[in-house]
Amino acid sequence: MIVTFTPNPAVDKTILVPGLKIGAQNRARESHLDPGGKGINASRVVHRLGRSTVALTVLGGHIGRMLRGALEAEGVPCRFVEVHEETRLNVVLQDESTGASTRVWDRGAAVPPDAMADIDDLLAHWVPHAKVFACAGTLPPGVPGDTYARLLIAAAASGAKTLLDADGETFRAGLDGRPTVIKPNVREAEAVLGRRLTTEREIIGGAVELLRRGPEAVVVSMGASGSVLVTADRIVRAVPPAVERLSAVGSGDSMVAGLLIALAEGLPLEEGLRLGTAAGAATAMTVGTQLGTRTEIEALLPKVRMEVL
């Protein structure tokens, strides 16, 4: 089973505005509400592709109930700890005239000590059941900074393959858990390495440096330019098919789903990269924070170009 842990989930509200004007009154043409959070989105795509998964998370208030209901309606198994504060509501303002999006990510619900104890119990139950275990997203207030490292070590000790998809200090601290795979985007890799990565050669060099910090494989996503997989003995680039890209939100999470499936099924990571690239492209074709469908992903899969560098 593929188990994901998203301690700081969200409901994402996308508002489509023709000709967005900052500092002025704008009227939306339409809006969408979707479940959000890196691991939750990865589990949703894994489920859409017909594989077994459970999303572990922390929910609170009306927005938390909304998120739970959306996952139940989609058929994605979810187990959670409830907290008093509201689950965060993230907002994406998409200017239809330019295609540009402005994103506001909320802080997230604080986790008190008693809830943290319940989270530890939840994870202690599910981690031993994981064939693959993923830690994904930011840590909300109240969750210790070493949580991901501790969980990744425990999952590996239970025989699971592991994946880390995080940002900033959470990503840096999580590397101490020696995950099997890490999947930063370029900006996230730059933040950990402390330098700009502006060319493909620099991105590959950055991935090699991250590889020296413990993971078996590093996948760096580069948006519409594709992604690179770096291991100790190979470098592979995946080039997505040309599609009409409406939103980049969720594409990286969709790529993670492909990598998780490859790890769970013992496939070469290149196959996970191919599947994840198709999933990411399918998600890029959707509005706001929606995700690609199985039909779209399978249609794009043969069009992904793989290159050994």
What's the CATH code of the domain at 83? 3.40.1190.20
Structural domain of 251: 2-308
In this prediction, residue 282 has a pLDDT band, given cuts at 50, 70 and 90, of: very high
Q: Contact at 8 Å (CB) between 166 and 158? A: no
Residue 288 pLDDT exceeds 80:
no
pLDDT tens-digit profile of 35-49?
A: 999 999 999 999 999
Token output for 171: 């990503």
Q: Which residues contact 265 (CB under 8 A, 6 or more apart)?
A: none
**Number of other residues whose CB lies within 10 A of the CB of residue 205:** 15
Number of folded domains in the chain? 1
Is the pLDDT at 289 greater than 90? The verdict is: no
CA within 13 Å, CB half, 11: 21
Q: What pTM value is reported for the model?
A: 0.94
Query: Annotated catalytic, 253?
Result: yes
* Confidence at residue 264, expressed as pLDDT on a 0 to 100 scale: 98
Sign of the dihedral through C-alpha 255, 258, 262, 267: negative
What average pLDDT does this structure show over 81-92?
Answer: 95
What does DSSP assign to residue 137? Answer: S
DSSP string spanning 65-121? HHHHHHHHHHT--EEEEEESSPPEEEEEEEETTT--EEEE--------HHHHHHHHH
